[in-house]
Amino acid sequence: MGSRLLPPVVTGYGAITALGENCQAAWRNMAAGLVCNVGMGERFFPAGFTAPCFQVPSVTADTGRSSLDDLIPSIKTSNRTVQLALLAVAEGLHRAGLSLGELRGKTVGIVLGTTVGCTFHNEEYYVQWRHGLNPAAEPLLAYLSSNLADKVREILGVTGPGLVITNACASGTDAIGVAKTWLEYGKCDIAIAGGADELSRVACHGFKSLMLYSEKSCSPFDKDRQGLNLGEGAGILVLERQEDAQRRGQKILGRVRGYGIAGDAYHPTAPHPEGYGLQCAVKGALGDSGLSVADICLINAHGTGTRVNDLAETHAISALGFDPDSLPVVSTKGFTGHTLGAAGGVEAVYTLMALNEGFVFGSAGCHELDPELSFPVIKEAESRVLTGKIGMSQSLAFGGSNSAVVLEGVEM
């Protein structure tokens, strides 16, 4: 293994969520304060329970990028998680100025996080099988050919390492961290990293059973919050080594400066009450980046809207020594819902956009802060001009896994 190279630069990013079909639309809708969730009844939840989900209104095959038109037939025939991923990838590659032809001459690492995207959840097949029938094999074969990273690589027609990370809600953040390491140690020339996930009945039923699902629009950090709402989407970064981006004259849109991951070793589903693992992950990410808490001008929190998450997360931020008078902390899940394996990717993209714009919107749904929070959060009605270019996106997951990435924006 060669010596470590400089942290990678971001040359492209793309995201699709209920907030917007691309980054531009999402930013515009955040500015307008749009919360685009829809009430879901028995289609997603047990009978007698209705709650909002953040569903992407339409997944169209039109990438809007002529250089990526080759992708359209594949987008049309893929499963929903792959479709969401491909649309974010198409946006990211377009922004990075990379055609499929250019990409095919390089070693492309693809690291994607997901949860639902790795499960076989074809209900028709399952019900037939359970009733002793012999269901048609196509759904099972389609599942076997739909490993997210392999599928995206196959559709893009590229070669290089691939990995699917299934670290629950931290999967997307971990995917970006792994891609950073791959580029630093020369395992690939370009990395496509982030996460994608579709809405699932199993996840909706599951979070309802854990009494973590809010019947009203989710309101992270608010004193009256009831829990989370699920969402779907995808968010990816296109990462390269700086010299490669400069060689092809591509504008640099940011940097992934640091990554940290640590475990609570505490409970299968609940975070450590003081956010022990998150504190270690943030310290790790800062150490990896060579920066300190004073350098961070924005934290995009995991901010699910569950009481245990919000308290643990703000406790960790406070214990790490961030300045409550100057550091804006926000959650974007009030705009997108909790997109599970996609969340880390989506939130990294939105964090970088805020850093590049020098401005962050308040946390949708948060009207009055929970007085038990250990660190203040920017409320919905507020917004903040950022005082620097370096921020952090953090994720907490089932299994006690915690991750953080340090991102650096650029002057636009």
Partner 1 sequence: MKVFVNAVSSVRLADLLVPVELTRKLRRADDYIRLAVVAACTTMQTQGTLTQHYGERCGLVLGSAFSTMQTNFEVLDSVVSKEQASPTLFSHSVFNAAAGYVASTLAIKGAALTITDFCHPFFKALEQAWLAIMSGGLDSCLVLQVETYSTLLADGRKTLVDEGAPWLPGVVCLLLENKKSSSMGLCVGETKITSKACHSQRLLTARQEVTVGTLCQTLYEPLGAAFFLAELLAKNEFQGNVFSVKSDWGDVRLHLNQ
Please tell me which residue in 169, 204, 218, 280 is annotated as part of the active site: 169
Q: Is 41 in the site for partner 1 (CB under 8 A)?
A: no
DSSP structure string for 223-265: TT---B-BB-EEEEEEEE-HHHHHHTTPPP-EEEEEEEEEE--
Q: Is 24 in the site for partner 1 (CB under 8 A)?
A: no
In the complex, minimum distance from the CB of residue 144 to partner 1, in angstroms, rounded to a whole number: 4
Q: Is 269 in the site for partner 1 (CB under 8 A)?
A: yes
Which of 24, 50, 77, 209 forms a contact with partner 1 (CB under 8 A)? 209
Please tell me which residue in 118, 302, 315, 366 is annotated as part of the active site: 302
With residues binned 3-state (H G I as helix, E B as strand, rest as coil), the percentages for the chain, rounded to 5, are: 40, 20, 40
Q: Is 323 in the site for partner 1 (CB under 8 A)?
A: no
Tell me which DSSP letter residue 269 carries.
S
CB 72 within 8 A of CB 45: no
Identify the CA nearest to 390 among candidates 214, 207, 256.
256
Q: Is 376 in the site for partner 1 (CB under 8 A)?
A: no
Which of 32, 134, 249, 371 forms a contact with partner 1 (CB under 8 A)? 134
Q: Is 126 in the site for partner 1 (CB under 8 A)?
A: yes
Q: Is 232 in the site for partner 1 (CB under 8 A)?
A: no
Residue 24 gets the label, from left (phi > 0), alpha (psi -120 to 50) or beta, of: alpha
In the complex, minimum distance from the CB of residue 43 to partner 1, in angstroms, rounded to a whole number: 11
Which of 161, 324, 358, 376 forms a contact with partner 1 (CB under 8 A)? 161
Which of 32, 57, 249, 268 forms a contact with partner 1 (CB under 8 A)? 268
CB-based contacts of 262: which residues, under 8 Å, 6+ apart?
Answer: 277, 278, 280, 281, 284, 402
Structure tokens at 325: 């008078």
Which of 285, 352, 397, 404 forms a contact with partner 1 (CB under 8 A)? 397
Q: Nearest 5 degrees, angle CA 318-CA 323-CA 327?
A: 105
Cα 200 to Cα 53, 164, 259, distances in angstroms: 10, 19, 29
In the complex, minimum distance from the CB of residue 379 to partner 1, in angstroms, rounded to a whole number: 31
Within the chain, how many helices (H) and strands (E) appear? 14, 14
Q: Which is nearer to partner 1, 342 or 355 (CB)?
A: 342
In the complex, minimum distance from the CB of residue 263 to partner 1, in angstroms, rounded to a whole number: 5
Distance CA 195, CA 255 (A): 18
Identify the CA nearest to 357 among candidates 57, 90, 24.
24
Identify the CA nearest to 365 among candidates 298, 299, 317, 310.
310
Which of 85, 237, 262, 298 forms a contact with partner 1 (CB under 8 A)? 262
Q: Is 133 in the site for partner 1 (CB under 8 A)?
A: no
Which of 40, 89, 158, 280 forms a contact with partner 1 (CB under 8 A)? 280
Distance CA 412, CA 410 (A): 6
Which of 98, 149, 316, 354 forms a contact with partner 1 (CB under 8 A)? 149
**315 is a catalytic site residue:** no
**367 is a catalytic site residue:** no
Q: Is 60 in the site for partner 1 (CB under 8 A)?
A: no
Q: Which is nearer to partner 1, 6 or 202 (CB)?
A: 202
Residue 304, judged by CB atoms within 10 A of its CB (0-12, 13-18, 19+), counts as: buried
Stretch that binds partner 1, among 76-84, 200-208, 236-244, 383-391 (CB under 8 A): 200-208
Which of 58, 130, 381, 411 forms a contact with partner 1 (CB under 8 A)? 130
Q: Is 163 in the site for partner 1 (CB under 8 A)?
A: yes
Q: Which is nearer to partner 1, 14 or 284 (CB)?
A: 284
**338 is a catalytic site residue:** yes
- Which 82-111 residues touch partner 1, going by CB under 8 A? none
Give the pairing type, strands 401-408 and 390-396: antiparallel
Q: Is 10 in the site for partner 1 (CB under 8 A)?
A: no
Residue 392, judged by CB atoms within 10 A of its CB (0-12, 13-18, 19+), counts as: buried
Q: Is 167 in the site for partner 1 (CB under 8 A)?
A: yes
How many CB atoms sit inside 10 A of residue 379's CB? Answer: 18
Residues identified as active-site: 169, 302, 338
